[in-house]
Amino acid sequence: MTNSSDSPINRATGATTRPTKYFIILTLALIAAIGIIKMMPVSIIRLSSSSPTLNHTRQQNTAAFARELGPVVAMTNSGNLDFAMNWVNSLRRVGVREWIIFATDDQTVAQLQKRVGSAEAQKIRRMPKSVYRGKSDKQHYQYRSAGWTEMMHSVPRLLRWLVFEEIKGPVLYSDTDIVWLEHPYSAFPADFGKVWFDLIASVDGRVFEANPTECPEDGSFCGGLMYLQHSDRIAKLLDDWEIEITKSADGKNQPAYNAAISANRKTSGLKVHTLDCAAYVNGWRAFCPDIVSRKSKFTCKFDWSSYQNRSPVMIHATYTVGKDLKIERLKKRGLWRPYSTIDVELNSSWRVLRLG
């Protein structure tokens, strides 16, 4: 009988009780350790994929990531060379090597090639006449002047030529009054390689004190910073953008851009991602205490600092009319360095920024 004191099982129990306990304890500990090891990668993956921006590990690899995403490009004329150089120097400071500036004429190409140096002269290129149809001027174009308007109207043509003929791939287009404080791609969506966006756009709309939030999906997108994929939907967007410019009474560039985006979201399924405004900072946010106008809607007295939950990737000097005022506001924040040398750049405190 199994309950008998003579049972071999009962007789052996006294001899095996302590080793059995140790075995059970070690087995449970091993199972627990294996469970923890298995769980760790899952937790890390979940944290990374849920994050709206690149984590620190990916930021360290942004340079390699950028080579896959395409170059940062801009356009300029000879009256805008200091802004072009300030833009170039800011990219150099954050380690960007894949950039190109397209100039309106041969004289501008020669002047800018001399300033960037022989090692990077090939990054200064001439826009084809099919893209830019205006005259070559040495002046800095004032906002809404005839020369400024002609350059702005050429943007959709330039982008179509770049994406589908010259580079034949994606590009990040940037105005030259942007100053880069981190790598341009460092706050792109973390799942960008898995989720397709035709257009990644920045916001330039005013946001008022009564509703202090930014980057609504249907906000006013900025025509001076956008990432475009090589896709049929982008080709149609650029064509429609140019058509919208010709349809508008005053020929404004940015309203036409937004009208084309809205229409193509509905008709062609254009997929748009909105960049974080705390990372890609427009002038309304950056210069708010300084923005004063006779029109109340253009006067900002709101303190954005409590909504600045991260360090900026860039500052865009929008809501600032005139060359001298742009320079003044950038200088005030230590962001105007068109003549900096590489040695100064590497040892500068460029990344220390005060928005107010």
Q: What is the DSSP string of 238-268?
A: HHHHHHHHHHSSS--HHHHHHHHHHHHHHHT
Q: What is the spatial distance between Cα 284 and Cα 244, in angstroms, rounded to a whole number?
A: 26
Residue 239 lies in a domain: yes
- For 303-322, b/e burial (b = at least 16 CB within 10 A) is ebeeebeeebbbbbbbbbee
- Residue 218 is predicted with a pLDDT of 53
pLDDT of residue 272: 93
* 122: in domain: yes
Structure confidence at residue 12 (pLDDT): 40
Does a structural domain hold residue 302?
yes
Q: How far is the C-alpha of 283 from the C-alpha of 326, rounded, in Å?
A: 10
Domain membership flag for residue 26? no
Dihedral sign (CA 175, 179, 183, 189): negative
Give CA–CA dist 161/115, Å, rounded.
26
Give SS3 for 54. coil
- What whole-number distance in Å separates Cα of residue 136 and Cα of residue 246? 22
For residues 177 and 83, the answer to whether their CB atoms sit within 8 Å is yes
pLDDT of 352 reads 42
What's the chain's average pLDDT?
Answer: 76
Name the H helices within the chain.
Answer: 8-50, 56-60, 62-69, 81-93, 106-116, 146-153, 155-161, 232-247, 253-267, 283-286, 323-332, 342-346
Query: Which residues, 6 or more positions from 307, have their beta carbon under 8 angstroms from its beta carbon?
Result: 212, 213, 214, 278
Please check whether residue 222 is in contact with residue 203, taking contact to mean a CB–CB distance below 8 angstroms.
yes
Answer whether residue 27 shows pLDDT above 50: yes
| Count of Cβ atoms closer than 10 Å to residue 48 Cβ | 14
Summarised one tens digit per residue, pLDDT across range 146-158 is 555 667 788 999 9
Whichever domain contains 116, its CATH number is 3.90.550.10
Q: What six digits make up the tokens of 174?
A: 């940037």
Stretch (H or E) spanning 352: none
- Residue 16 in domain: no
Minimum mean pLDDT among 107-116, 161-170, 242-251: which range?
A: 242-251
CB 98 within 8 A of CB 74: no
For residues 339 and 206, which has the higher predicted lDDT (pLDDT)?
339
pLDDT computed for residue 91 by the predictor: 96
Q: Could you tell me the pLDDT band of residue 277, with boundaries at 50, 70 and 90?
A: confident
Which backbone phi and psi does 160 adopt, to 5 degrees? -65, -40
More confident residue, 12 or 70: 70
- Cβ count within 10 A of residue 114: 12
Asked whether the predicted pLDDT for residue 6 surpasses 60, the reply is: no
Structure tokens at 299: 């006067």
Taking residues 293-314, report their average pLDDT. 73
Total number of domains in the chain: 1
Cα separation, 70 vs 47, in Å, equals: 27
Residue 73 pLDDT exceeds 60: yes
Rounded to whole angstroms, how far apart are CA atoms 179 and 170?
Answer: 21
Residue 44: inside a domain: no
Task: Give the three-state DSSP class for 315.
Answer: strand
CA 156 vs. chain centroid, Å, equals 19
pTM for the model stands at 0.75
Does residue 201 lie in a domain region?
A: yes
Task: Quote the CA–CA distance of 161 and 127 in Å, as a whole number.
Answer: 10
- Is 313 inside a domain boundary? yes
The two structure tokens encoding residue 92: 């150099």
Range of the domain at 330: 51-346
